[in-house]
Structure 1
Amino acid sequence: MCIPTTYSSTTSTTSTTSTMPFGPFTLQWRTPSPNPPPPSPLPNGITRTYINTPGGPLELLCALPATPSPRPKPPLFFAHGGFGCAAVWHAYMTFFAARGYACYAISYRGHGASWYPSFWALFFSGRAAMAQDLVAGVREVERREGGRVAKGERVGVVLVAHSAGGALAQWVLGRGMVRVEGFCLLGGVPGFGSWSCYTFWAHQLSTPLNLLYYCFHPRYLLATTQQVHSAFFSPATPLSRVREFERLLSPYESMGWPLQALPAFVTGPDVVQAIGGWKPRGGAAGVAPRFLVLAAELDVLCTPPVLRDAASRYRDAFPACVRAGKLDGVSEGDVRDDEDWDGVTFKVVRGLGHHLQNHVEWERGAEELLSWADNL
């Protein structure tokens, strides 16, 4: 069930903040008040509704095409990563809606304008809890878009997931909690183990003082503009852009969610077989890719080599799924045994860092995603 928003405030407010017992940082420990917090203004063409869940309302942003596309295009569902929210997708949503795609983005509990658990309740929330919110978002999009397809047909959502949201999406797909018509792991944490994605922060956890900070507040690693800049953006990104982005970050975060993604939690075929709509390109051209792994050249967290390794593992999983008869419409004769990646494709966006959708040059990543989506 979707509840229209009635908020009119322009900024989020919190009841109080607490200063760390030592050090220069002031970090938020209490839940926002009111809860959910008043939402921020939206760009033209984007609307906000709420999904009613047992825990509380979840923010869902929507951008619809102004005019119908000549050919039906699947809806795009954007899933954010740690400390993110639906608003990190504003630019992409506007961009794709102008090109005929219905676009949706969710904020999980404790993020954006969704409901907030208490600090410790969110701190100890595990992956399964966050996954409930992601699944609720996909189900709501399927419901809303159901009127655009013939009766009895399933709505084919294309899932685009970033950073730790990518790990969450792979876990959801691998367990068959949802099926999609395409999946883009956009600067996403791989499901084959993610220790290497956090080595960038290892030096900040190397002293007892820093470790104490980390144990008490997850936002410590992103407490200053410089920390956010170095982790999420390219060195050339203006600080003004980073400060604008900082306002979108959640005040505290779940630690169970990323910690559970450190060891491998997918096999490869389990995720691939949750994607539908596979079809041969025709002739000797192979199978059209419905799985895109998109890396940012200057990403210091989910680096291009890490994501290329993930793409390679999923590429190996693709023929295994075909042999097992898990992919409707594709036979073993459709699969080529060469370096052309049937079913799975890997791209690197030049000059951008981890939050490639929030850079000044965000269009570079959007164009790569559009090129892939237009061929689904």
Structure 2
Amino acid sequence: MSQRVKIAVAVTVALLGTFALGSVAPSLRTGPGPLSKRLRKSKTEKPLPEGIKRIYVDGVDGKLEVLTNEKSEDGRPEDAPLLMIHGGMGSARCYDKWAVYFASKGRKVYSLSIRGHGLSNRPDNFNSLTNADFCKDIASVVVYITESHPTSPAPVLIGHSAGGGLSQYTVSTLKPNTFSGVILLAPYPNTGGAPVYLEWIKFDPLFFPRFFWHGCDNMSPLSSPALVKRAFFSDGYDEGELKDFFNQMNPEETPGWPATMTNKFTDHEPVKMNAGGRVHIISASHDRLMTPPIMKKFVERYGCSSNVVEGSGHHMMFDNQWQVAARYVEAKLEEWNL
């Protein structure tokens, strides 16, 4: 092994070790961290989009917020409902634009805030919640959806970023055919998110100094609109929309969730099998986190269909190209006859 390779390995191990050690502090808290408390005070709740309402579904640990158009008279029973899962520091509001778009096409949409996110119940053990816990939240909402639409196909699961990782874990964990298909949006690779964390450190060299300055609060990397824009959006994203997006973000995040996806957390074969082979991946050309090389390897591993949203950053459901991404989903649903 050359000296250069040894140094690279040592630096990588040191960075990941620092991240792991830094994650211990927030996991010991029962309440929000110092930064999260400040962000919570400044958070504002926007009115819901027209045609979308808020309901609460009983979960295993309290009420779960779901945004839906379920009482709309539009739509066909032969169309599969859409269950949409947000990523880290997000909530059901991450799909506001898509909820309106797909509702206008006659689709029944359900956007879930998993435990401790949005207006869902925040349990005292929030900082230790993992994929396994949030999988139960999805399972609870699936039961509600299938009971509400007994003549429709099983829902299609759509997951973004960490929610895409959670979606893979959920599909591989629940019984086969719980979902008619799964669409992954710039998701955590099932082999683990360590390469993603390294990409974050590359474009944000102050990641760790800021993290420790903020008392090891998990919201530190996204603690300002400028940081959110750099991580989530393309350079041309509107500043006004950015401010609105920042204000509706979840003000805290459990360290347990990304920790359970740092290394390999599921195999791709059970995901494909349990979804009846209907897996589709959508990535973004200007994603600084789930970079094109990372997503290329991910798509090759799954051996499934895929799209790339040209010009979009990581958060393709809110970036300028959100309609392009939504149309990719729509086209795949039509191809699947769902």
Same fold (TM over 0.5): yes
Match of 1:366 in 2: 326
Unaligned runs of 5+ in 1: 1-16, 21-25, 150-154, 279-289, 316-343
Structure with the bigger RCO (C-alpha within 8 Å, sep 6+) is 2
For residues 271-319 of structure 1, what are the alpha-carbon distances to aligned partners after superposition, in whole Å with 9 as ceiling and x for unaligned? Answer: 111113x6xxxxxxxxxxx21100011111112221221121111xxxx
1:40 to partner: Cα distance: 4.4
Q: Does 1:176 align with 2:174?
A: yes
Query: Secondary structure at 2:158's aligned position in 1?
Result: strand
Query: Secondary structure at 2:282's aligned position in 1?
Result: strand
1:254 to partner: Cα distance: 0.9
Match of 1:326 in 2: none
Match of 1:194 in 2: 193
Match of 2:228 in 1: 228
Map residues 106-125 of structure 1 onto 2, 5 A cutoff.
Answer: 106-118=112-124, 121-125=125-129
Q: Does 1:56 align with 2:62?
A: yes
Match of 1:264 in 2: 264
8 Å contact kept, 1:241–1:360 = no
Match of 1:340 in 2: none
1:18 to partner: Cα distance: 9.3
- How many residues matched? 302
Match of 2:28 in 1: none
Q: What is the CA–CA distance in structure 1 between the aligned matches of 2:247 and 2:222, rounded to whole Å?
A: 12
Query: Secondary structure at 2:182's aligned position in 1?
Result: strand
Residue 42 and residue 205 in structure 1: after superposition, are their counterparts in 2 closer, same or farther (change >3 A)? same
Map residues 90-101 of structure 1 onto 2, 5 A cutoff.
Answer: 90-101=96-107
Report which stretch shifted further, 241-250 or 225-234: 241-250
% of aligned pairs identical?
A: 26
For 1:134, give the aligned amino acid. I
Q: Does 1:139 align with 2:148?
A: no
Query: Secondary structure at 1:51's aligned position in 2?
Result: strand
Q: Which of 297, 303, 310 is the matching residue for 1:309?
A: 297
For residues 228-268 of structure 1, what are the alpha-carbon distances to aligned partners after superposition, in whole Å with 9 as ceiling and x for unaligned? Answer: 01000001112211111012211111111111111112222
For 2:279, give the aligned amino acid. F
Query: Secondary structure at 1:356's aligned position in 2?
Result: coil
8 Å contact kept, 1:187–1:294 = yes
For residues 116-174 of structure 1, what are the alpha-carbon distances to aligned partners after superposition, in whole Å with 9 as ceiling and x for unaligned? Answer: 234xx32222221222212212222112111x34xxxxx42101100001111111112
Q: Which of 117, 132, 138 is the matching residue for 1:128?
A: 132
Residue 175 and residue 122 in structure 1: after superposition, are their counterparts in 2 closer, same or farther (change >3 A)? same
8 Å contact kept, 2:85–2:160 = yes
1:19 to partner: Cα distance: 9.5
Q: What is the CA–CA distance in structure 2 between the aligned matches of 1:213 and 1:312, rounded to whole Å?
A: 39
Q: What is the CA–CA distance in structure 1 between the aligned matches of 2:196 and 2:155, rounded to whole Å?
A: 28
Q: Which of 158, 161, 165 is the matching residue for 1:163?
A: 161
Q: Does 1:84 align with 2:90?
A: yes
Residue 215 and residue 92 in structure 1: after superposition, are their counterparts in 2 closer, same or farther (change >3 A)? same
Q: What is the CA–CA distance in structure 2 between the aligned matches of 1:99 and 1:198, rounded to whole Å?
A: 37
Residue 30 and residue 208 in structure 1: after superposition, are their counterparts in 2 closer, same or farther (change >3 A)? closer
Q: What is the CA–CA distance in structure 2 between the aligned matches of 1:18 and 1:168, rounded to whole Å?
A: 22
Q: What is the CA–CA distance in structure 2 between the aligned matches of 1:271 and 1:54, rounded to whole Å?
A: 24
Query: Secondary structure at 1:123's aligned position in 2?
Result: helix
Q: What is the CA–CA distance in structure 2 between the aligned matches of 1:358 and 1:141, rounded to whole Å?
A: 25
Match of 1:375 in 2: 335
Q: Does 1:348 align with 2:336?
A: no
Match of 1:75 in 2: 81
Unaligned runs of 5+ in 2: 1-30
8 Å contact kept, 2:44–2:247 = no
Q: What is the CA–CA distance in structure 2 between the aligned matches of 1:180 and 1:207, rounded to whole Å?
A: 37
Match of 1:319 in 2: none
Match of 1:300 in 2: 288
For 1:126, give the aligned amino acid. T
Residue 52 and residue 138 in structure 1: after superposition, are their counterparts in 2 closer, same or farther (change >3 A)? same
For residues 195-239 of structure 1, what are the alpha-carbon distances to aligned partners after superposition, in whole Å with 9 as ceiling and x for unaligned? Answer: 111223325576874342466310011101110010000011122
For residues 74-104 of structure 1, what are the alpha-carbon distances to aligned partners after superposition, in whole Å with 9 as ceiling and x for unaligned? Answer: 1111000101111111111111122121111
TM-score (norm 2): 0.82
1:346 to partner: Cα distance: 1.2
Report which stretch shifted further, 225-234 or 210-219: 210-219
Q: What is the CA–CA distance in structure 1 between the aligned matches of 2:193 and 2:209, rounded to whole Å?
A: 25
Q: What is the CA–CA distance in structure 2 between the aligned matches of 1:206 and 1:89, rounded to whole Å?
A: 30
Q: Which protein is richer in helix relative to its size? A: 2
